[in-house]
Structure 1
Amino acid sequence: MRVTDDLEKLLAILPVPLQERLHAHERLDELVEVVLDLGRRPEARFREGSDYLSEIPVTQDELDGCTARVGEFSGDNRAGIERTLHRISAMRNRHGKIIGLTCRVGRAVFGTIGMIRDLVESGRSILLLGRPGVGKTTALREIARVLADDLHKRVVIIDTSNEIAGDGDIPHPAIGRARRMQVARPEYQHQVMIEAVENHMPEVIVIDEIGTELEALAARTIAERGVQLVGTAHGNKLDNLIKNPTLSDLIGGIQTVTLGDEEARRRGTQKSVLERKAPPTFEIAVEMQERYKWIVHKDVAETVDYLLRDRKPLPETRALNGAGKVSVTRELSEAEWDEPLTTRTGSWHSPVPVVPLGAMEMEADFDGSRVRIYPYAVSRSHLERIVNTLGYPVLLTKEIDEADVVLALRSHVRDKGKIAAVAQNRQIPVHTVKANTIPHITRALRRILQIDEPGIPGDLDAGLFGSLDSEDELEAMEEARLAVEQIVLPKGQPVELLPRAPHIRKMQHELVEHYRLKSESFGQEPNRRLRIYPE
């Protein structure tokens, strides 16, 4: 791991006596910030503890001398030193005069993201959370460099406070080939985010400190356009975002749903429950508990659903030891697995060998009665809708010991191979589904039940893709079906549909996928609509 900090340039703005005291300090390499407050003793803060640098209080002349040696203070009372990563933050009195300075050391640390490099390379959007000073911006800077230099992607950094790429017009070399867009005022950050996508064709957008509802909405718009997002947000843990109405859209948004009596009894909950509103903007979340110990949620949607149902999620804990080796551990829930696994808690190892993915599509021998399926990371509500609508002879069970078949999401089998091991130990076949959508789950059920796959769905039941309670939903689904069957499939031509609400577009997307065609949303709300493509 290599660290560059340009510390001399930061010390040069301080009064000479303080420079001499810091140069002689034995913990200079651990310096985090220097605090200068009018009428108080100057203080140096380190990773652990702090020291006073003088017994003489700071004067107004000393503060004025420091501010004269740095760049111009922006609307958020931050300034920098050109071609460095240091941050100077000002405190002002009621008349706007500077009466305090926080001189923060900015360090470029190369090699910090070894713990999550596989996630960075996956192309999925990543959200970093953590308390101030834990290293979020440092990690963001390194991620931008790796994506631009090592993975050769077009990366644009939205640098609101010039904290990622440093002060001045020329960005710091720590960001590599990544480009940097500066923001005139903090309240314009969401506009610059959209401008970056529309004008500069990035593959990755890097954003520091998403803090307003407009910025959260801009992030969702960018993600919908297929751009990878890497950003930070205010909050120590994922739970904080769930409770924050301003930023909850980053993890899918939270809504109150009223259940029917039967559903409430089945779930064992009250009739009013909290549920996730939409897919998360960020698919991966990293909680930076300490500088070299991070909690990784590889499926934010699943984690949020677990938390809303008062169930304990099982994220990964990744840590970097003194030898530079990354250790990855994950707790195993005894409630989820009734096998005696207490000696294995915190380990990825399994008491039985994991079945290779290709060997799991085994045929099951059913007796003609209803097939009992244990869903693992597969939407239970989708399964129930398919079974009820199509009348398949399937019974969903909550206990793996009662199951004839396990139906699992393929990505979870790969990442958390425990389910394959448990199923093999019980001699239960495992079938996998590629995505948590109605068409994919329907095809998986047909495989399990050995029902022939139709060439082109002729008797398509639109009720599969939603409740169709309104005329708008019925009309939209009929429009999509006719477009596919009368234009796209027979003529091989793309078709644009009429503008629809987001939840209706989602239903149309799934209906198009049922025909094994591709579709995408484009345009701005309220004129956002679907375009369907031929094979």
Structure 2
Amino acid sequence: MTQRRITDDLHALLGVLPVPIAEAVVRGNNSDNLLEIILDLGRKPMARFVDSEIELLPEEVAHEDIDYVVSRIGEVDADNRAGLERTLHRISAIRNRRGHIVGLTCRVGRAVYGTIDIIQDLLETGKSILLLGKPGIGKTTMLREAARILAESKRTIIVDTSNEIGGDGDVPHPAVGRARRMQVAKPSLQHEVMIEAVENHNPEVIVIDEIGRELEAAAARTIAERGVQLVATAHGRTLENLLLNPTLSDLVGGIESVTLSDEEARRRGTQKTVLERRSPPTFDVLVEIQERDRLAVHADVAAAVDALLRGYPLAPEIRVRAASGEIQIEKPAPTQAVSRQARGAGRRGTAEAFGGPQRVSGPVRTTPNYAEMREEPAEENAVQATAVHTIRVFPYGVARNRLMQAAKRLGVPVLVVREAEEADVVMTLRAYYRAREQPIVQAEERGLQIYALRANTIAQIEQSLAALFNLPEESPLPGDLVSAASQTQTAIQAVLDGQRFVDLPPAVASIRRMQHEMARQAQLVSHSYGKEPNRRVRIFRD
């Protein structure tokens, strides 16, 4: 059903503005999309709409204009906000160093019915819900509608710090329905009113706008632990923003540093000191308001935080309200892994090109080490295949963040999993493989492929991923080829003129193959030396 919008009396707001400015707003003929009117001393008055902003007058705002508005709105509170009684309009002041008002933001307040249907099923579960989103995106509007819906069946109290939910004056706006409203004398006292609401008025639901201080976060936890449902907004746009905010991170469980055992650190592929969630989250569900009609829902905050801290972020559920009013829900798609049989085909040739031992399902096979051997022409015939499915990799002793970075650089679909039981491939270090660590032995017994790296470096990880996905080698730029060919020709001539040998600069395999071919055509000998990425060709006489 298409949402029904009810706009508060815009004339009440226009009535406190200087007449020329009010008339300019009316001439704009776009009141349905009007968000706020900006009056800054010495600047032209502006009107901001949902998707644009315009200058209202060519004349600059004067002291008289600001004094005109202030004289009609009454006292500006300690939070530099004032309202118009029986409306949802809000006027916020900007002061200079002497405390004089030099700017005003006149925000249009609207009651919008039908905005909460996109998460109404979550409200009805009784779980505590936290709304995040950028300023002006509709958090308070959704919160107001949530209070009205919940108040129809539960004892609901609004802690209205700035009178933004229920409007100014002693009588709350009809948009909050049967919900009771408690006003806050000073913003710094919000946490006390939150606790007072629980102790004195026996609510089943408490609705709070803008939790922004540590004391308010602590009060919210106290309320949740008493079994009261919380519906609130907080400063931040995403779960990660909130988690990194030391003041508010307790809302989602908080963070603390813990030290892992050697075995656990290897199993996770992390350092011994890691971050973990400190306690159960205050809010069960977190909703990121990405756009007015598009939300990202984290239905299990505890699981989402744990996954984020361990580097395995969980995809949220996406909810979208279509133009027709229909609610569309996109569940996170399960990742489809490649079958081992399909992945095994055509892999051996590519894996050998990178050196280093590889464990394939079945008997152990050690690949030749090309670190001190000549490049073979077979490099030109490496098997190439396109990986079209995600492969689940369990890193044991390999840095998880480096694995994710390498996968991102190569553009391959890798899902880093927590347990070997969830994996298609295990990636570890040679030292752990040779030590026959228990997870490695168990992986072998299950027939998993095991890639053993010489070192825990991004270059080594990229080589293993390239082998795993049968990636074609990246072609060098034409300029690099010309430069390499010129250097090679100079080296060949130096050897022909009697020099014992010449070492060429480090190069990728395709350039090294070209250098070997040029040396062969000059009836000279060439070998490759060193380890990637510093592997180079040496040219000398037979």
TM-score clears 0.5: yes
Deviation at 1:317, TM superposition (A): 0.3
Given the alignment of the two structures, is residue 294 of structure 1 paired with residue 302 of structure 2, yes or no? no
Using the alignment, how far apart are the partners of 1:163 and 1:29 within structure 2? Answer: 19
Q: In the alignment, what sits opposite 2:96?
A: 93
Change (3 A) 1:78 1:401: closer
Q: In the alignment, what sits opposite 1:206?
A: 207
Using the alignment, how far apart are the partners of 1:339 and 1:22 within structure 2? Answer: 64
Given the alignment of the two structures, is residue 10 of structure 1 paired with residue 32 of structure 2, yes or no? no
Q: In the alignment, what sits opposite 2:27?
A: 24
Given the alignment of the two structures, is residue 282 of structure 1 paired with residue 304 of structure 2, yes or no? no
Using the alignment, how far apart are the partners of 2:171 and 2:74 within structure 1? Answer: 14
Using the alignment, how far apart are the partners of 1:91 and 1:212 within structure 2? Answer: 21
Deviation at 1:338, TM superposition (A): 5.0
- How much identity, in percent, do the aligned residues show? 60
Q: In the alignment, what sits opposite 2:66?
A: 63
Following TM superposition, the consecutive aligned residue runs of length 4 or more in structure 1 with deviations greater than 6 angstroms are none
Q: In the alignment, what sits opposite 1:227?
A: 228
Using the alignment, how far apart are the partners of 2:74 and 2:172 within structure 1? Answer: 14
Q: In the alignment, is the contact (CA less than 8 A) between 1:71 and 1:82 conserved in 2? A: no
Q: 1:399 aligns with which of 421, 430, 454?
A: 421
Deviation at 1:339, TM superposition (A): 7.2
Cα deviation code 1:485-509 (max 9, x no counterpart): xxxxxxxxxxxxxxxxxxxxxxxxx
How do 1:179-258 and structure 2 match up within 5 A?
Answer: 179-258=180-259
Given the alignment of the two structures, is residue 45 of structure 1 paired with residue 58 of structure 2, yes or no? no
How do 1:103-502 and structure 2 match up within 5 A?
Answer: 103-149=106-152, 152-334=153-335, 398-399=420-421
Using the alignment, how far apart are the partners of 1:171 and 1:254 within structure 2? Answer: 39
Change (3 A) 1:24 1:256: same
Q: In the alignment, is the contact (CA less than 8 A) between 1:71 and 1:167 conserved in 2? A: no
Deviation at 1:26, TM superposition (A): 2.7
Q: In the alignment, is the contact (CA less than 8 A) between 1:256 and 1:272 conserved in 2? A: yes
Q: Which one-letter code corresponds to 1:108 in the other structure?
A: A
Q: Secondary structure at the match of 1:69?
A: helix
Q: Which one-letter code corresponds to 1:301 in the other structure?
A: A
Using the alignment, how far apart are the partners of 2:266 and 2:254 within structure 1? Answer: 25
Cα deviation code 1:52-103 (max 9, x no counterpart): 1111111111111111111321111000000000110001111111111000
Deviation at 1:24, TM superposition (A): 2.0
Q: Secondary structure at the match of 2:208?
A: strand
Using the alignment, how far apart are the partners of 2:291 and 2:26 within structure 1? Answer: 28
Deviation at 1:4, TM superposition (A): 2.1
Deviation at 1:211, TM superposition (A): 0.5
RMSD: 1.6
Deviation at 1:333, TM superposition (A): 4.5
Q: Which one-letter code corresponds to 1:2 in the other structure?
A: R
Q: In the alignment, what sits opposite 2:438?
A: none
Using the alignment, how far apart are the partners of 2:320 and 2:74 within structure 1? Answer: 37
Q: Secondary structure at the match of 1:54?
A: coil
Deviation at 1:399, TM superposition (A): 2.6
Deviation at 1:332, TM superposition (A): 2.0
Cα deviation code 1:98-124 (max 9, x no counterpart): 111000011100000111010010000
Using the alignment, how far apart are the partners of 2:79 and 2:107 within structure 1? Answer: 15
Deviation at 1:253, TM superposition (A): 0.8
Q: How many residues align?
A: 344
Cα deviation code 1:152-181 (max 9, x no counterpart): 100000000000000000000000000000
Deviation at 1:19, TM superposition (A): 1.5
Q: Secondary structure at the match of 1:35?
A: strand
Q: Secondary structure at the match of 2:141?
A: helix
Using the alignment, how far apart are the partners of 2:167 and 2:99 within structure 1? Answer: 25
Q: What TM-score do you get using the length of structure 2 for normalisation?
A: 0.62
Please, which runs of 5 or more residues in structure 1 have no aligned partner? 341-395, 403-535
Using the alignment, how far apart are the partners of 1:339 and 1:12 within structure 2? Answer: 70
Using the alignment, how far apart are the partners of 1:14 and 1:26 within structure 2? Answer: 17
Change (3 A) 1:315 1:339: farther
Using the alignment, how far apart are the partners of 2:281 and 2:302 within structure 1? Answer: 6
Q: Secondary structure at the match of 2:73?
A: coil
Deviation at 1:312, TM superposition (A): 2.4
Which has the greater radius of gyration? 2
Deviation at 1:28, TM superposition (A): 1.9
Change (3 A) 1:51 1:399: same
Using the alignment, how far apart are the partners of 1:312 and 1:96 within structure 2? Answer: 46
Using the alignment, how far apart are the partners of 1:244 and 1:400 within structure 2? Answer: 32
Q: Which one-letter code corresponds to 1:192 in the other structure?
A: V
Please, which runs of 5 or more residues in structure 2 have no aligned partner? 341-417, 425-542
Using the alignment, how far apart are the partners of 1:191 and 1:166 within structure 2? Answer: 21
Q: Which one-letter code corresponds to 2:38 in the other structure?
A: V
Change (3 A) 1:244 1:397: closer
Q: In the alignment, what sits opposite 1:507?
A: none
Using the alignment, how far apart are the partners of 1:239 and 1:104 within structure 2? Answer: 29
Using the alignment, how far apart are the partners of 2:172 and 2:419 within structure 1? Answer: 57
